[in-house]
Amino acid sequence: MEVKCRRLEGKVAVVTASTQGIGLAIAQRLGLEGAAVLISSRKKKNVDEAVDALRAKGITVVGAVCHVSDADQRKNLIDTAVKNFGHIDIIVSNAAANPSLDSILQMKESVLDKLWDINVKASILLVQDAAAHLRKGSSVIIISSIAGYNPEGALSMYGVTKTALLGLTKALAAEMGPNTRVNCIAPGFVPTRFAGFLTTNETVKNELIDRSMLKKLGTVEDMGAAAAFLASDDASYITGETIVVAGGTHSRL
């Protein structure tokens, strides 16, 4: 994809869970618009491969291994960004987990703990770790989900944790303004490995397409474009908001 605008020249971005899927697409778009990018993942092999792929596109990028629930690895993530680039302008909290398809009433406590730990708590701790290094005019972007508006079926508890991120966005925006803007993206259903159990089932896939006013699934590039907008000065008067990128799929609490 050719990107002609360079709205993020001189900016430094940290993106979690960014070696594939939506996270990688966001890192790529930010980099193509001029940002230096720090990508991360739990597996070093994935980090190294993604760094090579992004550098091949002319993007300034470094990588770090980071499991977002590991305090030492989170600290190293932030330290690596500051060591390599001197500061941070953009944080994208993208890591998520959906370890069980059980209903809420059937879900084990250990699974509930993991859902809250990865999907909500880690975003808070990441921002706490990064806050001292964010420059004036910085931007925090939290990745929620359309499931946050419609927590149902196999995504019910996952959806509830994503609903919490909508409130977290409002609360952090109030705390971090006026120097830092905090916004959220709620992606619709996108064919990625993470969502593969939905998008590879033709019956379910067609149902999801039918829910969309545009009658199609989204792409990872759609999410990258939304993130680049929110990170840029084009969104300089937007904070505390959630942009739903879901083709018109119903999105009201």
Active-site residues: which are they? Answer: 158
Which of 33, 239, 42 has the alpha carbon at shortest distance from 137? 239
Q: For residues 73 and 56, what is the distance between their CA atoms, to the nearest angstrom?
A: 26
Rg of the chain, C-alpha, whole Å:
17
**Are 217 and 146 spatial neighbours (Cβ–Cβ below 8 Å)?**
no
CA distance 22 to 226: 11
Alpha carbons 99 and 176: distance in angstroms, whole number: 32
| Residue the block writes with tokens 């119903």 | 250
Task: Report helix, strand or coil for 89.
Answer: strand
Residue with tokens 């939506």: 22
Phi, psi of 74 (to 5 degrees): -65, -45
Torsion 123-8-148-145 (CA) sign:
negative
